[in-house]
Structure 1
Amino acid sequence: MSAVFTCPGQGAQRPGMLQKLPAHPAAQAVAASAEAVLGQALTTLDSDNALGHSRNVQLSLLISSVAWGRYLLSEGCKPRFVLGLSIGAFPAAVLAESLTFEDALQLVALRGDLMQNAFPSSFGMMAVTGLDRYQVQALLERNGSGESYLANINADNQCVLSGSWAGLDALKPSIAKAGGHCQALSVTVPSHCPLLDEQALVLKSALDKVAMQAPRIGYVSASKARLLRDKDAIRDDLAMNMARQVHWLDASRLLAERGVSAAIELPPSGTLTGLFRRVLPQGHCVGADSTRLDSLQLLCSG
């Protein structure tokens, strides 16, 4: 059976998430390394108050996905592919052995600070369900304020908008009239749109100084919906994805076309599992923290 590990993005975070890592040497080694590199306890990252800052959110998601991924890898669960949403691209690159965990920690800390400092308030992201990408784009073109963008295309009838809350709130009446439903996400910055072009270029400069390797597990870009084999292509993907539109639906379909029949979401899991079930209705889409190890091993046995 061919499997993919999926790594969630900002919005999936939960208070105390790093206190629920597997009690396994591989996962605990990740936690110890993170504390040594960052010079702070994990409890300072995942408290309810700490998760109000993008740096702490993104670091928590990185640490959680790498800890769970390395635990599963050490137990014989080797996926054919890895796919991360937004910040999830960093743990995906680490698990594919294209980027070291230590370098990822430093880069993600910088990424979170760049994004938070650029937009400390009044900006964010809003999910829209019930409308397809073309309907949402048409509404943006007719009613958008210039500070609202189509950021994520997650499913046939689910997209995410990014921008100022003033602009996003102004779109709600037209979205509702068209039959859509809006929900604010737990994201305090306008990700995946041109508002973050400048910050992405700063991160690119930092990534250009980091040694990377060709991936040992297939690395799929959610921004390009392509399998990337070249280390410099992955470097560009990691640097620029904060400002690029997410094509999760197309990336998921790509994996289905390549024979993937199992999607295992690394914690905190939930959202990506639900999205993959739409693409793999006859497949196995599960969360790693809610599935028995022997079942996960079986899903990765192909």
Structure 2
Amino acid sequence: MSIAFLFPGQGSQQPNMLHHLPEHPAVQETLHEANEVLHDDILRWDSAEALQSTIAVQVALLVAGVAAARALQAEGVQPDMVAGHSVGAFGAAVTANALTFRDALSLVKLRGELMERAYPHGYGMGVVLGIEERKLSQIVANHFTNDAPVYIANLNSPKQITISGSVHGIETVLALAREEGASRAELLKNVRVPSHCVLMKSVSFELRKAMESISFQKPHIPYAANRTARPLRDPEAIKEDLALSVSHPVRWHEAICVLFELGTQLFVEMPPKHVLTHLAQQAFPCRRALSLADSGMRTICIVAERIKEKH
């Protein structure tokens, strides 16, 4: 295996992200398909005002990721494996052909609605850099309260970890993390729900119920799981990961380690930003990592062709 497509999650969104996608027929077809499913113009979903909604954020990220992946594939850049961070996992599942884009749109819209409804205000996420999981877990455990719960959420790298829960509790933990030497500890202002912790258990339950009526297929390429960080090839296992990951930590660093161990030479991140690209570069400086947002279609196509020729 040589090329892995990476799909970013909530927190990566930015205004007009869908308007800045590559000008490509595959992108236009994907936007049109989204319009048909949503019965709305998807290009209305990425304004600064619209992105105040968790629903719009998650749907827009799915559309951006799938549209970009389809454009790259149309130009001959075929992934050998996929991984998606949080809601990005749905785009990864679509690209692996485990799930149709139409079904993914319906599920992601429902996911956003359930998350927003469960915790409409007072909850969110924070990020801590420069402290390892063990120390941060101790801080969280020592200052946990039922009135202001906080949990370890995403393990993005050995020293980049997100926490999830009540804003009041998160701010307490962030302050303590700074005292313990964190190089950065701040609230994620563009994430308004407590993702990837037990607070989202009811969302996982409802998602799993909704998935019972949706057909999942055996993926054409391996899908790296959020919850277990294992490469999945079974459709039922992918269904379970998509449902349960919203209430469990994302083991992202372990997931990209799996991609590396399976022989990935080039990591390609779908729009709109480059967060996952930087994480891959930090973890594996001996491998190439490019974001479509920064490098553009042409550069990625050239690099991918060279890598395929070598392998």
Partner of residue 253, structure 1: 257
User: What is the TM-score normalised by the length of structure 1?
Assistant: 0.97
Question: 1:152–1:159: 8 Å Cα contact kept in structure 2?
Answer: yes
Partner of residue 7, structure 1: 7
Partner of residue 299, structure 1: 304
* Higher deviation after alignment, 53-62 or 285-294: 285-294
C-alpha RMSD over aligned residues: 1.2
Partner of residue 181, structure 2: 179
Partner of residue 262, structure 1: 266
* Higher deviation after alignment, 49-58 or 141-150: 141-150
In 1: Cα distance, 2:209 partner to 2:77 partner: 35
Query: In the alignment, which of 196, 201, 215 is matched to residue 197 of structure 1?
Result: 201
In 2: Cα distance, 1:18 partner to 1:28 partner: 10
In 2: Cα distance, 1:27 partner to 1:162 partner: 34
How far is the alpha carbon of 1:218 from its aligned partner?
Answer: 1.5
In 1: Cα distance, 2:151 partner to 2:74 partner: 41
Instruction: Give 5+ residue unaligned stretches, structure 2.
Output: none
Amino acid across the alignment from 1:16? N
1:236 aligns with 2:240: yes
1:50-99 superposed Cα distances (whole Å, 9 cap, x missing partner):
10111100000000000000000111101111100000000000011110
Amino acid across the alignment from 2:278? G
Question: Matched residues, percent identical?
Answer: 37
Question: 1:265–1:272: 8 Å Cα contact kept in structure 2?
Answer: yes
In 1: Cα distance, 2:304 partner to 2:273 partner: 17
In 2: Cα distance, 1:204 partner to 1:52 partner: 26
* Higher deviation after alignment, 61-70 or 40-49: 40-49
How far is the alpha carbon of 1:144 from its aligned partner?
Answer: 2.4
Question: 2:196–2:250: 8 Å Cα contact kept in structure 1?
Answer: yes
In 2: Cα distance, 1:237 partner to 1:266 partner: 21
In 1: Cα distance, 2:176 partner to 2:292 partner: 39
Instruction: Give 5+ residue unaligned stretches, structure 1.
Output: none
In 2: Cα distance, 1:66 partner to 1:88 partner: 9
| Number of matched pairs | 302
Question: 2:227–2:244: 8 Å Cα contact kept in structure 1?
Answer: no
How far is the alpha carbon of 1:207 from its aligned partner?
Answer: 0.8
1:89-135 superposed Cα distances (whole Å, 9 cap, x missing partner):
00000011110001111111100000001111000000000101111
